[in-house]
Amino acid sequence: MFDDTIEKYGVDVVLKKRTVTGEDEYGHPTVSYSESSVKAVVHVPSRKDYESMVKEPGVLGRKILIFVFPSTVNVSELDIIVYDNKEYVVRRVEKIHYKGSVVAVKAWGLSSE
C-alpha cells in the first residue's frame, strides 16, 4: 500500500545492517555492517512521537528523525541509517499494519552529532 508512495516520494538513504561477528578479548561483541541503498520518507517527529520515543539522558529532541521504509525493508535496532551525510542509530522499530498486513516499517533514528 505505502510501498509505491515511498518509492515515488521517498529519498535515498543508506541502511547499514548490523551483524554481530564475534567477541573481543573482553567479551564485548564485535560487529560489522553491510550497506544497502533504500528509499524512505523522512520526517521530524511530532510531540506525540517524542513522548513515545525512549528518552535517554543527555539526548536532545532535535537529534531524532523518523524514517518510514517500504514493508520489505528489514531494519533493526542498532542498525545505522545515513541521511544527509549524518548517521542515525536506530533506537526503535515499529511495523505499520493495515487490515492485518504490514504496509510499512517506521524507524526512529538518533543522531550521534
- Predicted TM-score (pTM) of the model is 0.83
Domains of the chain with bracketed CATH:
3-111 (2.40.10.270)
Helix (H/G/I), strand (E/B), else coil: 63:
helix
Question: Could you report the per-residue pLDDT of 61-75, keeping only the tens digit for each?
Answer: 458 899 999 999 999
Rounded to whole angstroms, the Cα distance separating 24 from 84 reads 32
Question: Could you report the per-residue pLDDT of 66-110, keeping only the tens digit for each?
Answer: 999 999 999 999 999 999 999 999 999 999 999 999 999 999 998
Mean pLDDT of 30-44: 95
Q: Which one-letter amino acid corresponds to residue 14?
A: V
Long-range contacts (CB closer than 8 Å, 24 or more residues apart) made by 50-57: 53/91, 53/92, 53/108, 54/91, 54/92, 56/110
